[in-house]
Structure 1
Amino acid sequence: MIPIKDYPGPRRSIPWITWGLILINIVVFLYQVSLGSATDQFVFAYAVVPVALVHGVPQTDLVRNSAQLLFHTPNPVYLTLLTSMFMHAGWLHIGGNMLFLYIFGDNVEDRMGHLAYLVFYLICGIVASIAQILIDPTSQIPSLGASGAIAGVLASYLLLFPWAKVRTVIFIFIFFTIVTLPSFVLIGLWFVLQFFDGIAALATVQQDMGGVAYFAHVGGFLTGLVLTLILRPFMRPPAQDSYPAFPRHPSINQPARWW
């Protein structure tokens, strides 16, 4: 399921933080891609490596021939909890994350306020990384991406705009169609999939193989729920009491198309 537009009601402010976060992620990723063969060294230096954080030792001290590395883990190594959330593993990774942040982040920022939203985003990302570390503290596989922080944004959106309409692309094998779903259905299904995929991926974790950090998503989402419940009494009220009627688009009711 890929969201392409939401209708939660009007914003009252420009989402400078959301746009800024998207810009920083894109700039870092383009720099990362430009490194060529040195990309892996950059990733190991600034991504979260569970075993490095557990021991408080920079990853470069745990790698043989570290003198040959072009990049060195920040000291203290715990700074990678921040740097890792602005890095991505590929074009699809950053594209999907930035799409979700663009669609859902602006209205959460509008309700929270710019500074509170930024702090909220960073806390969700940090806790998400810690959750993944707890699952496999001896792993030497780097964990990176904004997914954990964005999971927290999704949780907040779920609580603040549960009935907002979201236009969503749904793929069924080689077919796709566009449907309109309440946000609580779309985001709720997303979380359920992350949770059960995480349970299924535990066998992969035991084999010390890479993959999606599902428990980072779960940790970020739960953190977002808790923080939103705490902050909700201090947030600005919604811009309007009811959600706008979803505009009619002829394509919505058309049969599924070939992709």
Structure 2
Amino acid sequence: MFFPIGDDQVHQGHRPIFSWLFIAINVAVFAYQFSLGPEVGQAFVLDFGCIPAEIEAGQDYYTLLTSMFLHGGWMHLIGNMVYMYIFSDNIEASIGSAPFVIFYLLGGLAAGLCHIYFNAGSPIPAVGASGALSAVMGAYIVMFPRSNIKGFLFFFRISVPAFLFLGFWFYQQSSAGYASMGDTSGGIAWWAHIGGFVFGVVAGFLFRTWYGVPGLRAKTRAARR
């Protein structure tokens, strides 16, 4: 199993302040959630997690936003924050902080709506930053396809091109998503990942047109010296 720890993409342009801030917010919210204890913490998740049945009934629309900052456990949080650390700073540095915040939140919203559509009537709260992060990864595969993702395969440190790593990741999510159709018993919100990634791919092509890819250009220039 490949565990990513970073990439070799050169950071240029805007400083990725909100990428770091989102990590801090997610950690702070989970620490507060954990401090509540099991029973109150579960009630907290029910209040602020995104429940498809409630959204369909016209209730608690705010949970489409708040659910992006909740997590189901330490491993869920750590996994998402590692991915945010690897991928989101490059997008923010390329397009600027304000556009990144809008993109991130819209990506999370698109992911949430996709999850609701394919899990209609579910009473299970969906939580996690992975929908918005899937949008970030979708934009990354378009903007930085040849960036190398560094990580460990068992005990060996290797690098994998972004288009291979993220392409395989999306294949896994899609396969699991189709296999889970009709199952509303909970588990991983595969369709949030799929919807967020597709949204990010579309946004990535727009970003290439509007902003270019400054980090990639800088890396190419450096390689020619």
Question: After TM superposition, is the score higher than 0.5?
Answer: yes
Cα 1:87–1:27 shift into 2, 3 Å:
same
Q: Which residue, out of 182, 202, 206, partners 1:230?
A: 206
Q: Which residue, out of 147, 171, 183, partners 1:192?
A: 171
Bigger Cα Rg: 1
Determine the structure 2 residue equivalent to 1:85.
68
- 1:7 and 1:153 mapped to 2: Cα distance? 17
What is the CA distance between 1:241 and its match in structure 2? Answer: 5.4
- Residues 80-129 of structure 1: per-residue CA shift (max 9 Å, x gap): 10000000000000100000001111111011110001100000001101
Residues 68-107 of structure 1: pairs in structure 2 closer than 5 A:
77-107=60-90
Q: Which residue, out of 165, 176, 197, partners 1:221?
A: 197
What is the CA distance between 1:5 and its match in structure 2? Answer: 1.5
Residues 1-259 of structure 1: pairs in structure 2 closer than 5 A:
1-36=2-37, 37-57=39-59, 77-171=60-154, 176-202=155-181, 205=183, 208-239=184-215, 240=218, 242=220
Determine helix, strand or coil for the equivalent of 1:162: coil
Scaled by the length of structure 1, the TM-score of the pair is 0.81
- 2:133 and 2:170 mapped to 1: Cα distance? 12
- 1:233 and 1:215 mapped to 2: Cα distance? 28
- 2:213 and 2:157 mapped to 1: Cα distance? 31
Determine helix, strand or coil for the equivalent of 2:196: helix
- 1:27 and 1:96 mapped to 2: Cα distance? 16
- 1:34 and 1:192 mapped to 2: Cα distance? 37
Q: Look up the equivalent residue of 1:242 and give its one-letter code.
A: T
What is the CA distance between 1:20 and its match in structure 2? Answer: 0.5
Scaled by the length of structure 2, the TM-score of the pair is 0.92
Q: Look up the equivalent residue of 1:51 and give its one-letter code.
A: A
The runs of at least 4 consecutive aligned structure 1 residues that moved more than 4 Å come to none
- 2:11 and 2:121 mapped to 1: Cα distance? 47
- Work out the percentage of aligned pairs sharing the same amino acid: 37
What is the CA distance between 1:243 and its match in structure 2? Answer: 8.1
Determine helix, strand or coil for the equivalent of 2:149: strand
- 2:206 and 2:74 mapped to 1: Cα distance? 35
Give the aligned length.
219
What is the CA distance between 1:12 and its match in structure 2? Answer: 3.2
- 2:143 and 2:213 mapped to 1: Cα distance? 10
Which runs of 5 or more structure 2 residues have no equivalent in the other structure?
A: none
Which runs of 5 or more structure 1 residues have no equivalent in the other structure?
A: 58-76, 246-259
C-alpha contact (below 8 Å) 1:50/1:139 kept by paired residues: yes
